[in-house]
Amino acid sequence: MKTKQAGIVEIFTDGACKGNPGVGGWGALLQYNGQRRELFGGEKHTTNNRMELLAVIRALEALTKPCEVRLHTDSLYVQKGISEWIHAWKKRNWRTADKKPVKNDDLWKELDLLAQRHRIEWLWVRGHAGHEGNEQADVLANRGVQSVLSNSSVEMVRVQSIDTNSTSAGE
């Protein structure tokens, strides 16, 4: 799979949970100028929405400098949350319209800070519909689940930075 436009980091993220709540995993695929990084991890007791958010957070943390990003997620919770709902949540001091605390506000706050560092286009893709990047992120998220199941002390398995300073895959 090739990046559609030079200079843009393509990110595909997904979360998975065996039981909800239950053992969960997150996965992210990052592509930039021919470079490709796969990230995944998991937690023993979590929810699918937390894993969807963590996938995005860990992917953005892997960027070495402010970037232009095209982020693909199959989670409307993430896509609408960061694009639409978060503005009202912040105005209401992290409360929903019916005055209840926003779920996962710890992760939303972290994502909000990370997102401010980059120019991000938030794209929703239908899950399990043959979208190559999304399918690969799904495999990584499930690898995160398996890593937790096989080693109960593991919280985050593998993270590599993507070097956005280089201009080609060979650098």
Question: Active-site positions?
Answer: 14-15, 52, 74, 128, 138
Q: Is 14 annotated as a binding residue?
A: yes
Counting Cβ atoms within 10 Å, is residue 87 exposed (0-12), middle (13-18) or buried (19+)?
A: exposed
Q: Is 74 annotated as a binding residue?
A: yes
Closest C-alpha among 52, 49, 45, 8 to residue 30: 8
Q: Is 138 annotated as a binding residue?
A: yes
Pairwise CA distance, residues 118 & 50, whole Å? 21
Closest C-alpha among 17, 3, 154 to residue 77: 17
Q: Is 171 annotated as a binding residue?
A: no
Binding-site residues for Mg(2+): 14, 52, 74, 138
